[in-house]
Amino acid sequence: MSLDFEQARSFMVNQQVRPWDVIDPRVLEALGSVRREDFVPARYRRMAFTDMALPLEHGETMMKPVIEGRLLQALELRPEDEVLEIGTGSGFLTACLAQLARDVVSIDIHADFVERARTRLETTGLTNIRVELADALNFHPDRRFDAVAVTGAVAALPAEFLAWLKPGGRLFAVRGHSPVQQAVLYRTDAHGRVGEEGLFETDLPYLIGAEPVAQFAL
């Protein structure tokens, strides 16, 4: 039996994402217009709209749709915003960010992810995305951003990530120790002060180099 992707997409948005307190109509529209099934690994295409994280190579995963929705909503993206995404992954969230903002720079440490995402994103017709091969912990952007989306977990947020924000900028990250991590929204004000808001608990694979430091007991 063939899968009705449009019906499955509508169910994902209205029966999974929306009930998880994602009510921003622009976010729901982005999730409902980007063809998620074109970004998942081919063997999981029929599972593209399920409420689960889907495996990618290198031990990475594609986030659940509900997590993607909460991330997009938390960043409060405006059409004029410039966005940095740390961890391109499949490229699906990259496309959603580009639907909501003026410009998106996305970086990933895995060359195959970068090349595959570039190919997939070209088919969307979106022209406001640049995908680069880079290690987030050794990344030196030439500008600051209105919003930063960190798609892999960090044991503790590196201070330089916050330095990438403009005054008034927002950063979404998942912080803490697996299996109980917390999604956190950071905000900077005009004076450089940083506030944070805990959003929900989840569990994501760590960014390479941002894992917890092993503790050795004698």
| Average pLDDT over every residue of 31-35 | 97
Instruction: Tell me the three state secondary structure of residue 145.
Output: strand
Give 39's pLDDT tier (boundaries 50, 70, 90): very high
The domain in which residue 119 lies consists of 5-202
pLDDT at 24: 98
Indicate whether 218 belongs to any domain: no
pLDDT digits (tens, 9 = 90+) for 85-140: 999 999 999 999 999 999 999 999 999 999 999 999 999 999 999 999 999 999 99
CATH number at residue 135: 3.40.50.150
Indicate whether 140 belongs to any domain: yes
Give 191's pLDDT tier (boundaries 50, 70, 90): confident
pLDDT digits (tens, 9 = 90+) for 167-184: 999 999 999 999 999 999
pTM for the model stands at 0.95
pLDDT at 179: 94
Give me the number of domains the chain comprises.
Answer: 1
E strand residue ranges, the chain: 54-55, 61-62, 82-86, 103-108, 129-133, 145-154, 165-177, 180-188, 194-202
Residue 20's identity, in one-letter code, is W
| Average pLDDT over every residue of 11-36 | 97
Indicate whether 185 belongs to any domain: yes
pLDDT digits (tens, 9 = 90+) for 72-84: 999 999 999 999 9
Indicate whether 217 belongs to any domain: no
pLDDT at 192: 82
pLDDT at 3: 76
Indicate whether 207 belongs to any domain: no
Indicate whether 153 belongs to any domain: yes
Indicate whether 216 belongs to any domain: no
pLDDT digits (tens, 9 = 90+) for 196-210: 999 999 999 999 999
Helical residues (DSSP H) of 40-192, grouped into ranges: 65-74, 92-100, 111-122, 159-163
Indicate whether 211 belongs to any domain: no
What percentage of residues in the chain have a pLDDT greater than 90? 94
Q: Which of 57, 73, 77, 53 is nearest to 65 (CA)?
A: 53
| Residue 87 near residue 116 (C-beta atoms within 8 A) | no
| Residue 194 near residue 215 (C-beta atoms within 8 A) | no
